[in-house]
Amino acid sequence: MMAQAFAERLRTALPAVALTPRTESGLMPAMVITVAADDWAALGAAAHGLGARWSACWVDPEPDHWRAWVLYEQGGAYVLAQTVLDPRAPRLPSLTPVFAAADRPERAIHDLLGVVFEGHPDTRRWLRHQAWRAETHPLQPEQPLAGAPPARTPADVGYPFRRMAGDAVHEVAVGPIHAGTIEPGHFRFATVGEQALTLETRLGYTHRGVEKLAVGRDAAGLLRLAARVSGDSTVAHAWAACMAIERAAGCAVPPRALALRGLLAERERVANHLGDVGAIAGDVGFSFAQMQFGALRERWQRRSAERFGHRLLMDTLCAGGVRTDIDLEGTRALLQDHARLRAELAPLTAILLDHPSLEDRLVGTGVLSAADAQVLGCLGYLGRASGLTFDLRRDAPYPPYDRLPVRVPRYDSGDVAARMRVRLDEIGVALELMDTLLAALPPGPVSTHWEAPPAGARGLGLVEGWRGETLAFVRFGADGRVARYAPRDPGVFAWPALERLLPGNIIPDFPVCNKSVNGAYAGCDL
């Protein structure tokens, strides 16, 4: 088993620490290792030394003590490290000095739970603006859901953005409300003339308290919430949450349901890529492609509504399976759609890849180096355009992908053009996968009986969403109620990447850079 070998390498790299890797059924395929809080940083350094990727970190305020978790991945093998924290004074060595990707997630944990990350290079707040006070941490169990907010929450005007000095430098502040129809966030540029020297992003505007709202919900309630963590990734988050609760409960999902989940996830991928390719073209004034891809996406969404009951595929999954089956006629309709989409994409792709004015705007714009992508742990199309091809469907396959060969596109130029090409390629791959899934849909039911596990059961869900590796951790309390839900959207790694790829580009190219990266706002703000 790959995870075992990874855990063994970690053990060898840390001879001074007695590591005993073990498995826990709910947390498979990851190996679990327990360390003392004092060894947290040493373990992180060892993982870094082995070339592992920092995937996620969350803290679970269990009744007796708190537990911190960090997930490392290397070559598709996962190790999940845990340590116990004192709830009266929760402290943990920061991993940010070793893994840049841990920066904002650790700050978010501090804001919500009050865990102090010692040695964190940036002690500014992240998710907290002015709705609660610095000494209040709303996710702590004793804090009421309603909190004690002011009647009118003031704007977070005092946030200490990094400043650039220099006579010619000026700042451009954008947001939270942007010019177009887009989620809210604040961007602070330091520019000289038209050229951006730095960009700092500030999120948290769509913080809705997802993790707090999950506490006390049953499985169905949790899945409704998971489906709305990020509206463009509703299948990905719902599937990750399903996987977590099903592993926690030891629930065996029927093969047909798993195949249909794969189909839904690929449909979500195609819909988003169609929209994004059009929007990237639209952001540089190529409205022909924007309209063409907008029409393709509309037809795709209509078919989703017709066959699965929802244009964005919300609430199509349930604990133990999926809600909707597909009959022979539906299968034929989908296969025809796939063939038609392929036929329509071929000439459009030829135009997109060979249009001088488009090339002029997209090639060499917003270059994310392979080194930066690696350091920041970039996933999905963002990583694949900069040479990183990690894909759970191929590298740590879960059903139904364990039976399917998944091609993963890779480009090395790291620019907007590459991120658009990855999307186009991934549409092709998704169509192949869906054809294969539909050609051999396993017979049988599309869901199984769901029975909640006893208190204390916990599970980990990991799926390849359209943005990349999407995670959910769930721990159950009494009566089948959720005690902790920690989702992690891959968009978390996109925002720091946007900050690294923008300097040197002109401000008018920011929208297309941003769209090509497409980090989630709501998915990160929770």
Partner 1 sequence: MLRILHRVITTGTLTEPLDTSAALESLGIEVRRTLGARFAGSFAIRHVDAGSCNGCELEIHALGNPYHDLERFGIRFVASPRHADALLVTGVVSRHMQEALLRAHAAMARPGLVIAAGACACDGGEFGASYASLGAVDSVLPVDVRIPGCPPAPALLLRGLLAALGRETG
Instruction: Name the residue nearer to partner 1 (CB basis): 79 or 512.
Output: 512
**CA dist., res. 343 & res. 356, Å (int):** 23
Instruction: Name the residue nearer to partner 1 (CB basis): 453 or 519.
Output: 519
Residue 201: CB minimum distance to partner 1, A: 15
Instruction: Name the residue nearer to partner 1 (CB basis): 20 or 181.
Output: 181
Contacts of 435 (CB under 8 A, 6+ apart): 335, 338
User: Are residues 511 and 283 in contact, defined by beta-carbon separation less than 8 angstroms?
Assistant: yes
| Position 144 contacts partner 1 (CB under 8 A) | yes
Residue 108: CB minimum distance to partner 1, A: 13
Q: Which of 379, 397, 396 is nearest to 258 (CA)?
A: 397
In the shown chain, the binding pattern of residues 302 to 331 toward partner 1, with x for contact by CB under 8 A and - for none, equals ---x-----xx-x-----------------
Q: Say how many CA atoms lie within 13 Å of 404 toward its Cβ.
A: 28
Q: Retrieve residue 513's tokens.
A: 């850079």
Q: Which of 410, 390, 405 is nearest to 467 (CA)?
A: 390
Instruction: Name the residue nearer to partner 1 (CB basis): 251 or 319.
Output: 319
Residue 79: CB minimum distance to partner 1, A: 32
**Residues binding partner 1: what is the number (CB under 8 A)?**
64
Q: Which of 75, 76, 97, 184 binds partner 1 (CB under 8 A)?
A: 184
Site for partner 1 in 35-54 (CB under 8 A): none
CA dihedral for 485, 27, 437, 326, sign (positive or negative): negative
| Position 232 contacts partner 1 (CB under 8 A) | yes
| Position 470 contacts partner 1 (CB under 8 A) | no
Give the range of 39-47, 206-214, 323-331, 362-370 binding partner 1 by CB under 8 A.
Answer: 206-214
Give the range of 44-52, 123-131, 239-247, 462-470 binding partner 1 by CB under 8 A.
Answer: 123-131
Give the range of 54-62, 145-153, 166-174, 479-487 binding partner 1 by CB under 8 A.
Answer: 145-153
Give the range of 21-29, 182-190, 397-405, 438-446 binding partner 1 by CB under 8 A.
Answer: 182-190
| Position 297 contacts partner 1 (CB under 8 A) | yes
Residue 313: CB minimum distance to partner 1, A: 10
| Position 225 contacts partner 1 (CB under 8 A) | yes
Q: Which of 461, 320, 474 is nearest to 29 (CA)?
A: 461
| Position 351 contacts partner 1 (CB under 8 A) | yes
Give the range of 24-32, 255-263, 346-354, 371-379 binding partner 1 by CB under 8 A.
Answer: 346-354
Q: Which of 17, 50, 76, 288 binds partner 1 (CB under 8 A)?
A: 288
Give the range of 33-41, 188-196, 296-304, 457-465 binding partner 1 by CB under 8 A.
Answer: 296-304
In the shown chain, the binding pattern of residues 146 to 175 toward partner 1, with x for contact by CB under 8 A and - for none, equals xxxx--xxxxx-------------------
| Position 350 contacts partner 1 (CB under 8 A) | yes
What single-letter amino acid sits at 477?
G
The three-state secondary structure class of 241 is helix
What single-letter amino acid sits at 330?
G
**CA dist., res. 431 & res. 407, Å (int):** 12
Residue 259: CB minimum distance to partner 1, A: 25
Q: Which of 18, 169, 291, 353 binds partner 1 (CB under 8 A)?
A: 291
**CA dist., res. 398 & res. 393, Å (int):** 7
Strand partners, 472: 461, 487
Give the range of 41-49, 166-174, 202-210, 434-442 binding partner 1 by CB under 8 A.
Answer: 202-210
Q: Retrieve residue 320's tokens.
A: 């133990």
The three-state secondary structure class of 417 is helix
Q: Which of 75, 97, 141, 209 binds partner 1 (CB under 8 A)?
A: 209
User: Are residues 55 and 377 in contact, defined by beta-carbon separation less than 8 angstroms?
Assistant: yes
Contacts of 180 (CB under 8 A, 6+ apart): 511
CA dihedral for 19, 24, 26, 30, sign (positive or negative): positive
Q: Report the C-alpha dihedral over residues 498, 500, 504, 505, rounded to 10 degrees.
A: -10
**CA dist., res. 113 & res. 383, Å (int):** 31
Q: Retrieve residue 435's tokens.
A: 């054809």
| Position 97 contacts partner 1 (CB under 8 A) | no
| Position 131 contacts partner 1 (CB under 8 A) | yes
| Position 503 contacts partner 1 (CB under 8 A) | no
**CA dist., res. 85 & res. 37, Å (int):** 7
The alpha carbons of the chain give a radius of gyration, in whole angstroms, of: 23
Q: For residue 410, how many other CB atoms are within 10 A of its CB?
A: 15
Q: Retrieve residue 55's tokens.
A: 């995937």
- Give the interface with partner 1 as residue ranges (CB under 8 A): 129-132, 138, 143-149, 152-156, 176-177, 179-184, 204-210, 212-213, 224-225, 228-232, 234, 275, 279, 288, 291-292, 294-295, 297-298, 301, 305, 311-312, 314, 347-348, 350-351, 520-523
